[in-house]
Amino acid sequence: MEHTTIDIQANKVKETVGRHVLADGFDFVMDIEKSHGSWLYDKLTNREYLDMFSMFASASVGYNHPYIVEKSAWLGKMAVNKP
């Protein structure tokens, strides 16, 4: 399977995504690389926000935890093969 990646400016994300899915709500573009611990990084405003919900408990160890990052290739392989 071939994947295509496109680079979208932060201020165009909601408009682009909105062409395909319902994109109402809070204007926020999460930067997964800059988010860390309990802090979300908004690429649109270049600000950090404290994540008070931990992605509704699915991110209980926070973002970019060193152990999780270290094991990400293995975790990805397991997620694909053992869903």
Domain total of the chain: 1
Give the pLDDT confidence of 11-42 residue by residue, as tens digits.
Answer: 998 898 899 998 887 788 999 899 999 999 99
pLDDT per residue as tens digits for the range 43-52: 999 999 998 8
* CATH label of the domain that carries residue 69: 3.90.1150.10
Beta bridge partners of 39: 36, 50
Tokens of 80: 């694909």
Residue 3 resides in a domain: no
Owning domain of residue 62:
10-81
DSSP for residue 27: -
Residues, the chain: 83
Closest Cα partner for 8 from 17, 32, 82?
17
In sequence order, what E strands does the chain have? 39-42, 47-50
- pTM given for the model: 0.67
Question: Of the candidates 25, 73, 4, 3, which has an alpha carbon nearest to the alpha carbon of residue 13?
Answer: 25
In a domain, 25, yes or no: yes
